[in-house]
Structure 1
Amino acid sequence: MYFWFLLIVKSVFHHITPVPKIALPTAQGFSFIALTDILYFKADNNEALVYYLKPYDTKTHSAVIFKRLSDIEAALHYNGFLRIRRNYLINTYNIKQVNNRAIVMANDETLYPSRDRGKVVEAYLKEHFYI
């Protein structure tokens, strides 16, 4: 009986645990996106585009963040984000498949690590995902 009680309590607390989010400035204020919904960031000069999925929606959405990719990488490094190219920072939890140096994301978009980052990406995936 006590075992079932613990399972129920664990389930309840799991559902009320806050999900880490990132605040994106919009014309109306800020829009908050769960880190787990973010697919990747793409650098464009001193700003970055964030590509993400909304819950229960298969369409990929994007927004502009006026930060450098290196600043975003420093803030999210310990949250499963990995730099695969000079201008791409991906969320490793949204990797769907890895093929011959190609990474397929949850939205079926294929991204390619650079030659110099390829070894780092491979080592990271082996360490964290037992590839």
Structure 2
Amino acid sequence: MLNTIIVDDEEFARSSLYFLLQENCEDVHISGIAKSVSEARNLLTQHSVDLIFLDIAMPGENGFELIPYAQSSKAHIIFTTAYDQYALKAIKANALDYLLKPIDIDELKVAVDKALRFIALNKNENNRNESLQNLAVNLSDRAEIRKISLPNGQGYTLVNIDDIIHIEADSNYSVFYFANRDRITVSKVLKEYEEILPDHQFVRIHKSSIVNLNYLKEYNSRNGLEVILKNGEKLAVSRRRASDFAERIKSYTRP
């Protein structure tokens, strides 16, 4: 029996994984559920944990910051992630396993079976620690991330980042604008996507705006600092970010 905790900031992700495990994985005992790394640390001190289902992209501290505490507790990690195929290859090479959201029942069963076998074999802990540390390094090349999953309340929408024109902050939400004129609103703040998206292509131009440089048409100061995108949208560039934005444009257009 694997004593397990689930760590994810999305309520839908937590509840759906809980029920999938309850219904399909009889060798798993869920000792606790956390919506942040801080809550997960507390669970690790309260319970003897064999396995952690750990989301990567969370507000505040991301999933990687729980790794040292998991190592100290000798708990193993299965990552739950919205990263695309390149990043998943890095996870597969270094982590115990990964699950791509939305989670597939058959893939979940395979991951749990692998965890059971791995823990039973009691693989050398030093090798395991090195493997987890390598994971964070391998995923740091965000330029290779080409798709992300956006929570939509009932599940996830998988989108190609090249189709994103810009992202706007709306209080604690982020609104994605796409080339096909669709919009998707997600309950995550803009900073999370600033950290995830490749910074050679996506630039924060204002506290409330991120733009995809592939859709940039014009940059001028006729009406204050602003950009004009290929879909005709005009967005303000804050003075605080103007210098950095100008440098990024030079780098982007350099042959």
* Corresponding position of 1:44: 170
* Corresponding position of 1:98: 219
* Corresponding position of 1:64: 185
* Corresponding position of 1:5: none
Contact 2:150 2:157 (C-alpha < 8 Å) held by counterparts? yes
1:113 matched to 2:237? The reply is: yes
Q: State the 1:76 CA deviation.
A: 0.7
Query: What does 1:10-49 align with in structure 2 at a 5 Å threshold?
Result: 20-26=146-152, 29-49=155-175
Q: State the 1:77 CA deviation.
A: 3.8
Using the size of structure 1 for normalisation, the TM-score is: 0.72
Give the RMSD, CA atoms, in angstroms.
1.8
* Corresponding position of 1:81: 202
Secondary structure of the corresponding residue to residue 210 of structure 2: strand
Using the size of structure 2 for normalisation, the TM-score is: 0.39
Secondary structure of the corresponding residue to residue 118 of structure 1: helix
Matched positions, count = 107
* Corresponding position of 1:125: 249
- In the alignment, the residues of structure 2 paired with residue 113 and residue 26 of structure 1 have an alpha-carbon distance, to the nearest angstrom, of 29
Q: State the 1:105 CA deviation.
A: 0.9
- In the alignment, the residues of structure 1 paired with residue 239 and residue 199 of structure 2 have an alpha-carbon distance, to the nearest angstrom, of 23
Higher strand content, 1 or 2:
1
Give the structure with higher Rg (CA).
2
Which amino acid counterpart does residue 231 of structure 2 have in structure 1?
N
Structure 1 vs Structure 2: percent identity of aligned residues? Answer: 27
Higher helix content, 1 or 2:
2
For each residue in 1:20-75, what CA deviation from the matched residue of structure 2 results, as whole angstroms up to 9, or x when unmatched? 22212235532222111101111122211111123xxxxx2211111111111001
Which amino acid counterpart does residue 201 of structure 2 have in structure 1?
G
Which amino acid counterpart does residue 147 of structure 2 have in structure 1?
K
Which amino acid counterpart does residue 29 of structure 1 have in structure 2?
G
Contact 2:152 2:186 (C-alpha < 8 Å) held by counterparts? no
For each residue in 1:79-118, what CA deviation from the matched residue of structure 2 results, as whole angstroms up to 9, or x when unmatched? 5111000111111111122233321112111112011111
- In the alignment, the residues of structure 1 paired with residue 173 and residue 219 of structure 2 have an alpha-carbon distance, to the nearest angstrom, of 28
